[in-house]
Amino acid sequence: MVRGLSFELDAGRALQITWPNGAGKTSLLRALSGLLHVESGSIHWLGRSIFGDLRAFHDDMAFCSHEPGLKPDLTIDENLHFAAGVRRRCNINERHAALARVGLTGLQDDPARRLSAGQQRRVALARLCLQGATLWLLDEPAAHLDAQGQALVSQLVSEHVRAGGLALIATNQPLALAPDISDELPPARLAARAGPA
Amino acid sequence: MVRGLSFELDAGRALQITWPNGAGKTSLLRALSGLLHVESGSIHWLGRSIFGDLRAFHDDMAFCSHEPGLKPDLTIDENLHFAAGVRRRCNINERHAALARVGLTGLQDDPARRLSAGQQRRVALARLCLQGATLWLLDEPAAHLDAQGQALVSQLVSEHVRAGGLALIATNQPLALAPDISDELPPARLAARAGPA
Amino acid sequence: MSEWFAMNGYARYVWPSVAAALIALVWNALRARSLLKQARAEVRRRLASEDES
Amino acid sequence: MNWVWLHRFGSPPYFYRWAGRIVPWLAWPAALLILAGLYGGLVLAPADYQQGDGYRIIYVHVPSAWLSLMIYTVMALAAAVGLIWRIKVAHAVAASCAPIGAWFTGVGLVTGMLWGQPMWGTYWEWDPRLVFYLVLLFFYMGYSGLRSAIDDTTRADRAAAVLAIVGAVNVPIVHYSVIWWNSLHQPPSLALTSKPTMPASMYVPLLLLFLGFTLFFYAVMLTRARAEVLRRERGGNWIRAALETTR
Amino acid sequence: MSGVKTSAPRAFFLVIQRDLRLAFRRPGEWLQPVAFFAIVTLLFPLALDPEPARLRALAPGALWVAALLSSLLAIEFLYRDDGRDGTLEQFALSGQSFASLLFAKTVAHWFLTGVPLAIAAPIAALALGAPPHSLSGVLLALLLGSVSLSLIGAIGAGLTLGIRRGGALLSLLVLPLSIPTLVFGARATELAIAGASGAELAAPLYLLGALAVLGVTLAPLAAAAAVRISLE
Amino acid sequence: MSGVKTSAPRAFFLVIQRDLRLAFRRPGEWLQPVAFFAIVTLLFPLALDPEPARLRALAPGALWVAALLSSLLAIEFLYRDDGRDGTLEQFALSGQSFASLLFAKTVAHWFLTGVPLAIAAPIAALALGAPPHSLSGVLLALLLGSVSLSLIGAIGAGLTLGIRRGGALLSLLVLPLSIPTLVFGARATELAIAGASGAELAAPLYLLGALAVLGVTLAPLAAAAAVRISLE
Ligand code: HEM
Ligand SMILES: Nc1ncnc2c1ncn2[C@@H]1O[C@H](COP(=O)(O)OP(=O)(O)OP(=O)(O)O)[C@@H](O)[C@H]1O
Ligand SMILES: Nc1ncnc2c1ncn2[C@@H]1O[C@H](COP(=O)(O)OP(=O)(O)OP(=O)(O)O)[C@@H](O)[C@H]1O
Ligand SMILES: [Mg+2]
Ligand SMILES: [Mg+2]
Residues pairing with B78 in the sheet: none
Of F33, F165, F175, the CB nearest to E29: F165
pLDDT surpassing 90 at residue A8 = no
At residue A193, the pLDDT reads 33
Residue from A27, A23, A7, A17 nearest A177 by CA: A17
CA distance E125 to E41: 9
The chain D residues in contact with chain E (CB within 8 A) are 131-132, 135, 138-139, 141-142, 145-146, 149-150, 152, 154-155, 158-159, 162-163, 166-167, 170
Residues with CB under 6 A from ligand 1: D 58, 61-62, 65-66, 69, 108-109, 112-113, 115-116, 119-120, 129-130, 133, 174-175, 185-186, 188-190
Sequence-ordered list of residues with C-beta below 8 angstroms from that of F68, at least 6 positions apart, any chain: E43, F149, F175, F178, F181, F182
Of A33, A55, A132, the CB nearest to F3: A132
CA A25 to ligand 2 center in whole angstroms:
8
Cα Rg of chain C (Å, integer): 22
pLDDT in tens, chain E (232 residues): 456 888 889 999 999 999 999 988 877 777 878 888 888 888 878 777 667 777 787 888 889 988 998 888 888 889 988 888 889 999 999 888 999 999 999 999 999 999 999 999 999 998 888 888 889 999 999 999 999 999 999 999 999 887 876 667 888 889 888 988 998 898 899 888 888 877 888 888 988 998 899 889 889 999 999 999 888 7
CB-based burial label for F86 (10 Å; 0-12, 13-18, 19+): buried
Of A86-95, B134-143, E57-66, F26-35, which range is least confident? F26-35
At residue D36, the pLDDT reads 95
pLDDT band of B196, cuts 50, 70, 90: very low
At residue E31, the pLDDT reads 80
Atom 23 (ligand 1) nearest CA: D112
The three-class DSSP label of residue E164 is: coil
Residue from B181, B36, F145 nearest D158 by CA: B36
pLDDT surpassing 50 at residue B193 = no
Is the CB–ligand 3 distance for residue A123 below 6 Å? no
At residue E1, the pLDDT reads 45
CA distance D211 to D230: 29
**D124 to chain F: which residues are within 8 Å by CB?**
126-127
Sequence-ordered list of residues with C-beta below 8 angstroms from that of B22, at least 6 positions apart, any chain: A115, A116, A118, A119
pLDDT surpassing 70 at residue B189 = no
User: Would you give the DSSP letter of residue F133?
Assistant: G
**D139 to chain E: which residues are within 8 Å by CB?**
176
Asked if D124 lies within 8 A of F29 by C-beta distance, the reply is no
At residue A191, the pLDDT reads 37
CA D129 to ligand 1 center in whole angstroms:
8
Q: Taking CA atoms, what residue in B is nearest to A26?
A: B116
| Cβ under 8 Å to F: A residues 84-113 | 85-90, 94
The three-class DSSP label of residue A132 is: coil
At residue B72, the pLDDT reads 83
CA distance E149 to D95: 28
Ligand 3 atom at shortest distance from the alpha carbon of B19: 21
Residue F210 backbone phi and psi in degrees, to 5: -60, -45
At residue B10, the pLDDT reads 67
Phi-psi region of F95 (alpha: psi -120 to 50; beta: other; left: phi over 0): left
Of E32, E164, E171, the CB nearest to F172: E32
pLDDT tens string C11-45: 888 999 999 999 999 999 999 999 999 998 888 88
Residue F183 backbone phi and psi in degrees, to 5: -60, -50
Size of interface B-D (CB pairs under 8 A): 22
pLDDT surpassing 80 at residue F3 = no
pLDDT band of D182, cuts 50, 70, 90: low
User: Would you give the DSSP letter of residue D57?
Assistant: G
Mean pLDDT across chain D: 86
Measure D150 CA to nearest chain F CA, in Å: 10
Residue A24 backbone phi and psi in degrees, to 5: 120, 25
Is B37 within 8 Å of chain E by CB? Answer: yes
At residue B197, the pLDDT reads 26
Ligand nearest to the CA of B171: 3
| Cβ under 8 Å to B: A residues 12-41 | 18-22, 26
pLDDT tens string D114-139: 998 888 887 777 777 888 898 899 89
Of A25-34, B185-194, E207-216, which range is least confident? B185-194
Ligand nearest to the CA of D187: 1
**B35 to chain D: which residues are within 8 Å by CB?**
none
pLDDT tens string B21-73: 777 888 888 888 888 877 777 777 877 777 778 888 888 899 988 777 888 88
At residue F15, the pLDDT reads 94
At residue D189, the pLDDT reads 59
The three-class DSSP label of residue A44 is: strand
pLDDT tens string F116-162: 999 999 988 888 888 888 888 899 999 999 999 999 999 999 988 87
CA B117 to ligand 2 center in whole angstroms:
7
Is F39 within 8 Å of chain D by CB? Answer: yes
At residue A6, the pLDDT reads 65
Atom 4 (ligand 2) nearest CA: A196
At residue E172, the pLDDT reads 84
CB-based burial label for C11 (10 Å; 0-12, 13-18, 19+): middle
Q: How many CB atoms lie within 10 A of CB F192?
A: 27
Is A36 within 8 Å of chain F by CB? Answer: yes
At residue A188, the pLDDT reads 54
Sequence-ordered list of residues with C-beta below 8 angstroms from that of B143, at least 6 positions apart, any chain: A143, A144, B66, B121, B171, B172, B173
Asked if F29 lies within 8 A of D123 by C-beta distance, the reply is no
Asked if E183 lies within 8 A of F29 by C-beta distance, the reply is no
User: Judging by DSSP bridges, how do beta strands B48-49 and B44-45 pair with one another?
Assistant: antiparallel
Of A130-139, D46-55, D158-167, which range is least confident? D46-55
User: Judging by DSSP bridges, how do beta strands A48-49 and A166-170 pair with one another?
Assistant: unpaired
Share in percent of chain D as helix, strand, coil (round to 5): 80, 0, 20
The order of strands in the sheet holding A182-184 is: A61-64, A135-139, A166-170, A14-17, A182-184
Residue from E46, D220, E162 nearest F183 by CA: E46
At residue A196, the pLDDT reads 28
Phi-psi region of A46 (alpha: psi -120 to 50; beta: other; left: phi over 0): left
Asked if E65 lies within 8 A of F43 by C-beta distance, the reply is yes
Q: Taking CA atoms, what residue in A is nearest to F26?
A: A73
Cα Rg of chain D (Å, integer): 20
pLDDT surpassing 50 at residue A194 = no
**F9 to chain A: which residues are within 8 Å by CB?**
none
Measure F1 CA to nearest chain E CA, in Å: 34
Alpha helices in chain B (DSSP H): 25-32, 54-60, 76-85, 92-101, 117-131, 147-162
Q: What percent of chain B has a predicted confidence (pLDDT) above 90?
A: 19
Tell which wins on pLDDT, E198 or A158: A158
The three-class DSSP label of residue A90 is: coil
At residue E220, the pLDDT reads 93
**B89 to chain E: which residues are within 8 Å by CB?**
3-4, 6
Measure A177 CA to nearest chain F CA, in Å: 22
pLDDT tens string F46-98: 777 667 777 788 888 889 988 988 888 888 888 888 888 888 988 988 888 89
Atom 2 (ligand 2) nearest CA: A196
Highest mean pLDDT among A102-116, B77-91, B181-195, F103-117: F103-117
pLDDT surpassing 80 at residue D196 = no
Measure A184 CA to nearest chain F CA, in Å: 25
pLDDT band of D69, cuts 50, 70, 90: very high
Mean pLDDT across chain A: 81
User: Would you give the DSSP letter of residue F129?
Assistant: T
Is the CB–ligand 3 distance for residue A148 below 6 Å? no
CA distance F205 to F218: 20
Residue from A78, A62, A149 nearest A112 by CA: A78
How far are the Cα atoms of E39, F183, F185 from residue F178, in angstroms, in the given order?
12, 9, 10
Angle at the Cα of E95 from the Cα atoms of E91 and E99, rounded to 5 degrees: 55
CB-based touch A/F (3+ pairs, under 8 A) = yes
The set of chains that have 3 or more CB pairs under 8 A with A is: B, D, F
Whether F231 and F92 have beta carbons less than 8 Å apart is answered as yes
Ligand 3 atom at shortest distance from the alpha carbon of B66: 27
Q: Sign of torsion, CA F186 F189 F195 F201?
A: positive
pLDDT surpassing 60 at residue D70 = yes
